[in-house]
Amino acid sequence: MTKDELKDYLNNVLIGIHENIKEVRDRKGWAEEKEILHIETKLLTYNEVLQIFKFTAKEMGLPEKELGI
């Protein structure tokens, strides 16, 4: 795997996470009350995953903005 392939892969993963967060936030606006807890749990999980990417990038001295986090 080349550096560019790895960068593209990570970029696609991060885009997917951001899209999922947006979709779940949108769904929360019209969800039934019984679904809200599940939706909030998903949002917390997605945000926790993004924080792992962010902390790891910071520890490694990688440019967060360029990585999309």
Question: For the whole model, what pTM was predicted?
Answer: 0.81
Low-confidence ranges of the chain (pLDDT < 50): none
Nearest to 69 by CA among 56, 58, 53: 53
The number of CA neighbours under 13 Å toward the Cβ of 51 is 6
Q: How far apart are CA 39 and CA 55, in angstroms?
A: 24
Residue 33 belongs to domain spanning: 3-67
Q: How far apart are CA 45 and CA 61, in angstroms?
A: 24
- Total structural domains within the chain: 1
CB 31 within 8 A of CB 39: yes
Residue type, 54: K
